[in-house]
Amino acid sequence: MADRLLTVAEVAERLGTWETSGERFPRRLVEERRITFVKVGRHVRIPESAVDEYIAANTVRRVVRRLRAVV
């Protein structure tokens, strides 16, 4: 089964940027080629898996620091 293609507005909502910047952030990702997208005529659609990959690639993991023993 093929990926579901999301509109730019749906991607903005999924990334949580809809309230602050509307569609600007996902459109900038497309313009800078930082996310995979599909052109359907003049419309831009983004595969759902591309959004998942973008989130996974930009997730910052927490760092566990060990305390050093004082000698």
Q: How far apart are the first and last CA of the chain?
A: 60
Structural contact between residues 50 and 36, judged by C-beta atoms closer than 8 angstroms: yes
At 64 the pLDDT is 87
pLDDT > 80? residue 11: yes
Its domain, for residue 51, covers 5-57
Q: Across residues 12-24, what is the average pLDDT?
A: 90
Question: How does pLDDT run across 21-53, given as a tens digit for each residue?
Answer: 889 999 999 999 999 999 999 999 999 999 999
pLDDT > 80? residue 71: no
Query: Does residue 64 belong to any structural domain of this protein?
Result: no
Helix residue ranges, H only, 1-71: 8-15, 18-21, 24-31, 48-57
At 1 the pLDDT is 56
Query: Does residue 40 belong to any structural domain of this protein?
Result: yes
Query: Does residue 62 belong to any structural domain of this protein?
Result: no
